[in-house]
């Protein structure tokens, strides 16, 4: 059941709703719009050896906003939104990606540069070093239920990520109905922000200002982002009648500075996701 005061749930749903609204609005000016639903599996591996495996569902929306649609050569402006989540969006795992490209097409091959924004949420990660750390309000180590110490888990927060990307796509087969696309996204040191506690709580749905509660300090042991990349391989087949199948494999690596709470690499993460499903072409 969705918790009304769960900030990651609310933030993820707001962002994807915005993506849906923008993409559907843009479809009024677009040449093509695709919407699909998918299911699959996600594996997260953290730098300290902890792992999390999740069954996930996915939603994707894409549209081509226009451009020159010549048979042999075209310049187009695709936009897209993709969500992969476990349970209610943002409850334990969420990857939201919004982006756009400048695409140059020659016959059945297209490629070009682009940029995207990602919102990533992960639940608490097992970190045995937390067991030896005294309980502190500004520590990302979570306290045990009885309040006598930490429970060996660390809250790694949510991530805002802006990336520069490039893609290549090829259509082949009968009438070019089969397609395969590869995308590479680069995340530089100033492109990714690890959201601290009060930034996430600000998206909550419950107003506690009238209760005069003491301020909760931000985590003092969050590291800075160092570098990262995202590789996505997407393939599919478009049927007569405006239906299509789509499968996607994603491999994302994010690395943080090895200081403060990240001396064991617990904030460093590699996410591998595979989804398959189908949708409609309009």
Residue pair 189/226 in contact by the 8 Å Cβ criterion: yes
Residue pair 187/161 in contact by the 8 Å Cβ criterion: yes
| Look-up of token digits 């990533």 | 120
Residue pair 183/113 in contact by the 8 Å Cβ criterion: no
What's the rounded Cα separation, in Å, for the pair 280 and 239? 10
112, part of any domain: yes
Q: What is the mean pLDDT of residues 97-116?
A: 94
pLDDT at residue 208, as a whole number: 53
Which of 13-17, 60-64, 245-249 has the weakest average pLDDT?
Answer: 13-17
pLDDT at residue 199, as a whole number: 80
1, part of any domain: no
Which of 133-137, 245-249, 271-275 has the weakest average pLDDT?
Answer: 133-137
Per DSSP, the residues of the chain read ---TT-HHHHHHHHHHHHHHHHHHHHGGG-SEEEEEEEEEEEEEEETTS-EEEEEEEEEEEEEEEEEEE-SSEEEEEEEEEEEEEESSTTSSEEEEEEEEE-EEEETTEEEEEEEEEEEEEE--EE-GGGGGS---TT-SEEEPTTSSSEEEEE---EEEEEEEEEEEEEEESGGG-EEEEEEEEEE-TTTEEEE-HHHHHTT-S---GGGTPPPPPPPS-PPPEEEEEEEEEEEEEEPTTSEEEEEEEEEEEEEE-SSGGGTT-TT-EEEEEEEEEEEEE-
pLDDT tens-place string over residues 250-263: 999 999 999 999 99
pLDDT at residue 2, as a whole number: 34
Which of 34-38, 63-67, 208-212 has the weakest average pLDDT?
Answer: 208-212
pTM listed for this prediction: 0.85
Confidence band of 5 (pLDDT split at 50, 70, 90) = very low
Q: What is the mean pLDDT of residues 130-156?
A: 86
**Residue 115: how many other CB atoms lie within 10 Å:** 15
pLDDT at residue 202, as a whole number: 64
Domain count across the chain = 1
Q: What is the mean pLDDT of residues 173-188?
A: 94
Confidence band of 67 (pLDDT split at 50, 70, 90) = confident
107, part of any domain: yes
**Residue 255, domain extent:** 7-281
2, part of any domain: no
| Look-up of token digits 């290549």 | 168
| pLDDT higher than 50, residue 4 | no
For residue 115, the cross-strand partners are 100, 164
Residue pair 164/113 in contact by the 8 Å Cβ criterion: yes
pLDDT tens-place string over residues 190-238: 899 998 888 866 655 555 555 555 578 899 999 999 999 999 999 999 9
| pLDDT higher than 90, residue 248 | yes
């Amino acid at each position: 059941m969705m918790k009304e005061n769960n900030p990651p749930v609310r933030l993820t749903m707001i962002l994807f709703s915005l993506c849906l609204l923008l993409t559907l609005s843009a479809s009024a000016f677009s040449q093509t719009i695709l919407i699909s639903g998918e299911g699959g599996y996600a594996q997260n591996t953290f730098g300290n050896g902890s792992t999390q495996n999740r069954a996930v569902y996915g939603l994707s929306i894409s549209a081509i906003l226009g451009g020159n649609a010549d048979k042999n050569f075209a310049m187009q402006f695709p936009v897209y939104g993709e969500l992969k989540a476990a349970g209610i969006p943002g409850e334990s795992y969420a990857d939201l990606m919004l982006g756009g490209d400048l695409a140059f097409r020659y016959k059945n091959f297209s490629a070009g540069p682009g940029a995207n924004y990602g919102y990533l949420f992960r639940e608490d990660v097992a970190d045995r070093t937390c067991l030896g750390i005294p309980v502190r309000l500004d520590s990302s180590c979570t306290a045990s239920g009885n309040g006598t110490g930490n429970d060996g888990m660390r809250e790694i927060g949510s991530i805002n990520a802006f990336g520069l990307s490039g893609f290549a796509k090829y259509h082949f087969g009968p009438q070019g109905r089969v397609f395969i696309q590869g995308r590479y996204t680069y995340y530089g040191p100033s492109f990714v922000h690890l959201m601290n506690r009060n930034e996430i709580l600000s998206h909550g749905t419950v107003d506690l200002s009238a209760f005069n509660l003491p301020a909760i300090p931000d985590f003092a042991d969050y590291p800075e982002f160092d570098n990262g990349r995202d590789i996505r391989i997407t393939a599919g087949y478009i049927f007569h009648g405006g239906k299509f199948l789509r499968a996607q494999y994603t491999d994302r690596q994010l690395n943080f500075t090895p200081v403060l709470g990240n001396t064991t690499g617990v904030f460093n993460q590699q996410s591998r996701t595979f989804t398959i499903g189908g949708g409609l072409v309009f």
